[in-house]
Amino acid sequence: MLRFDSVDMRYADGTSALKTVSLHIPRGQFCVVLGSSGAGKSTLLRMANGLVRPTAGTVHVDGVQVTAASLADIRPRIGMIHQQFNLVLRASVATNVLSGALPALPLWRAMAGLFPEAMRERACELLASVGLQPAHLNRRASELSGGQQQRVGIARAFMLAPPLVLADEPVASLDPQASGEVLELLKRQAAERGTTVLCSLHQVDLARSFADRIVALRDGVLVFDGAPQDFDAAAAQALYGAERLSAASTTAPVEPRPTHSLVWEAA
Ligand SMILES: Nc1ncnc2c1ncn2[C@@H]1O[C@H](COP(=O)(O)OP(=O)(O)OP(=O)(O)O)[C@@H](O)[C@H]1O
């Protein structure tokens, strides 16, 4: 479903973010990427939807190579979930979910917000399936809690029933209880639809609980690829180092690192 073959990423300023990374993720797998801040997790995810072009190697989504020419074909096949939720806070919950269908609409319809009835129904079904009530539909996104906002983010990501969902630290802004609930929900939504998920996390314990497979990056190099039960204390210590391990083991919210100029697209 998602293939990275010998990808390198060197940014314009010379930072080498990924070094000869190869990773093949089969359909339906929930794969978690672990790694310290700056290890290359976001760069890997951004490559999958073409926001970052590898300086060497290739990326394929659903058998199609990710290139400038194939982006219009690939983007509707990918749902995105973001650390900061990336909702339009002044817009209604319903509008935010519907925005997940924008890549599939002709431009004139998208500009006018003319969503077909079937899409509106799907948005309602998805909102119910992530545990939000009909009363939430017309509320502004800004009126929801962080956990509820991320539920909206999950519903939006599944609007086009994509075969692949990329989740970039989806619980980094949430408290431990909401983190567990949101990951549980994401995993259930994906399992019900056979969706492949590539999800970056900071918390080792959450990765162990929810992943089918864990991969770990250190300084842009893939240093672990295996089953969650094999990501033991020694593997965690090798990845994070003794002092940083306790921080990575907690489910406390992580302060976002300042971002570079690249921003995730809303859908
Ligand atoms: N647009 C950019 N230009 C230059 N360097 C960048 C850019 N984006 C990321 N980097 C650098 O590439 C490396 C990997 O960054 P990346 O954001 O992929 O790591 P990460 O594992 O996702 O980190 P975090 O967990 O803090 O989000 C870091 O050294 C980072 O500073």
φ, ψ dihedrals at 143, nearest 5°: -85, -5
pLDDT value, residue 185: 93
Q: pLDDT tens, 101-122?
A: 988 887 787 777 788 899 999 9
Q: Check pocket membership of 262 for ligand 1, CB cut-off 6 A.
A: yes
pLDDT value, residue 140: 96
Residue nearest to atom 3 of ligand 1 (CA): 11
- For the segment 11-29, the average pLDDT, to the nearest whole number, is 97
Output the six-digit token pair for 132. Answer: 């939000």
Q: Check pocket membership of 34 for ligand 1, CB cut-off 6 A.
A: no
Q: Check pocket membership of 53 for ligand 1, CB cut-off 6 A.
A: no
User: Rounded CA gap, 139 and 93, in Å?
Assistant: 6
Contacting residues for 217 by C-beta, under 8 A, at least 6 apart:
18, 21, 33, 34, 35, 39, 40, 41, 44, 223
Q: Check pocket membership of 35 for ligand 1, CB cut-off 6 A.
A: yes
pLDDT value, residue 254: 47
Output the six-digit token pair for 33. Answer: 């990427």
**Percentage of the chain modeled with pLDDT above 90:** 76
pLDDT value, residue 259: 41
Q: pLDDT tens, 230-259?
A: 999 889 988 987 656 555 655 444 444 444
User: Rounded CA gap, 137 and 22, in Å?
Assistant: 42
- Has the ipTM of the complex gone over 0.90? yes
Tell me, which fold does domain 2-248 have in CATH? Rossmann fold (3.40.50)
User: Rounded CA gap, 199 and 185, in Å?
Assistant: 13
**Helix (H) or strand (E) run with residue 215 in it:** strand 213-218
Neighbours of 46 (CB within 10 A): 18
- For the segment 19-40, the average pLDDT, to the nearest whole number, is 97
pLDDT value, residue 142: 96
**Is beta strand 78-81 parallel, antiparallel or unpaired with respect to 164-168?**
parallel
pLDDT value, residue 141: 95
pLDDT value, residue 258: 44
- Confidence band, pLDDT 50/70/90 cuts, at residue 263: very low
For residue 18, which atom of ligand 1 is closest to its CA?
A: 14
In DSSP terms, which residues pair with 221 in a beta bridge? 218
User: Rounded CA gap, 30 and 41, in Å?
Assistant: 15
**Percentage of the chain modeled with pLDDT above 70:** 90
Q: What spacing in Å lies between the alpha carbon of 259 and ligand 1's midpoint?
A: 8
N- to C-terminal Cα distance for the chain? Answer: 20
Contact 61, 239 (CB under 8 A): no
For residue 220, which atom of ligand 1 is closest to its CA?
A: 14
Domain ranges of the chain: 2-248
Q: pLDDT tens, 192-222?
A: 999 999 999 999 999 999 999 999 999 999 9
Contact 2, 65 (CB under 8 A): no
User: Rounded CA gap, 129 and 256, in Å?
Assistant: 29
pLDDT value, residue 245: 59
- What's the pTM value of the predicted model, to 2 decimals? 0.89
- Choosing from 7, 11, 239 the residue with most ligand 1 atoms within 8 A of its CB, the one to mutate for a pocket test is 11
Helix (H, G, I), strand (E, B) or coil at 239: helix
Residue nearest to atom 7 of ligand 1 (CA): 260
Q: pLDDT tens, 82-102?
A: 998 899 999 999 999 999 998
